């Protein structure tokens, strides 16, 4: 498995992967436009055939704080450590940039708990974090679970 920064050629496979999970209600949808705009934030896992089988993003939010987002692994590749490896790549990149705290909003708290994240209340996150939530179809009734981890 190769883990690398996403490229323009990866946007369609990322879009398809995220859209499948969003259709099941276990992930928020991302538009193609959003994926293109956040391309530099993303890491992909690519199998030996060149197929994108996983993705994750690291979005800088505030002084020393970043969000792990857009986490998805192809259903036929789950439980192989791919998601954990993607998160580790993102955490390493964040630490190099000076991130002190990582957070995520997720429907899969068990996964993130195994990676050292702890559940927090949404009120523990700075208001700055919520600026993008205004565009979410679930706003203001967010049902994702907030989790945090120190660098």
b/e 15-53 (16+ beta carbons within 10 angstroms → b): bebbbebeeeeebbebeeeebeebbebbbbbbeeeeebb
Report whether 121 contacts 151 (CB < 8 A).
Answer: no
89 vs 61, higher pLDDT: 89
**ω into 140 cis (within 30 of 0):** yes
pLDDT confidence bin for 144, thresholds 50/70/90: confident
pLDDT of residue 79: 92
Mean pLDDT value across residues 84-112: 96
**Weakest-pLDDT range from 76-80, 139-143, 144-148:** 139-143
pTM for this prediction: 0.90
Nearest residue to 70 (alpha-carbon basis) of 51, 54, 47, 81? 54
13 vs 27, higher pLDDT: 13
Say if residue 140's pLDDT is above 80. Answer: no
Ordered structural domains, the chain, with CATH: 2-150 (3.40.630.30)
Q: What is the pLDDT of residues 19-78, one digit of tens each?
A: 999 998 888 889 999 999 999 999 999 999 999 999 999 999 888 999 999 999 999 999
What is the rounded CA–CA span in Å between residue 106 and residue 112? 8
């Amino acid at each position: 498995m190769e883990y690398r920064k996403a490229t323009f050629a990866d946007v369609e496979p990322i879009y398809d992967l995220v859209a499948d999970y969003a259709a099941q209600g276990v992930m928020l949808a991302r538009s193609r436009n959003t994926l293109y705009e956040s391309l530099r934030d993303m890491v992909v896992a690519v199998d030996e055939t060149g197929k994108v089988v996983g993705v994750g993003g690291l979005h800088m939010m505030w002084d020393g704080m970043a969000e792990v987002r857009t986490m998805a692994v192809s259903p036929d590749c789950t439980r192989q450590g791919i998601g954990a490896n993607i998160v580790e790549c993102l955490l390493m990149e964040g630490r190099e940039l000076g991130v002190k705290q990582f957070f995520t909003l997720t429907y899969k708290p068990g996964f993130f708990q195994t990676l050292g994240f702890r559940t927090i209340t949404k009120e523990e996150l700075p208001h700055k974090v919520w600026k993008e939530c205004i565009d979410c179809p679930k706003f203001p009734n967010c049902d994702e679970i907030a989790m945090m981890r120190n660098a």
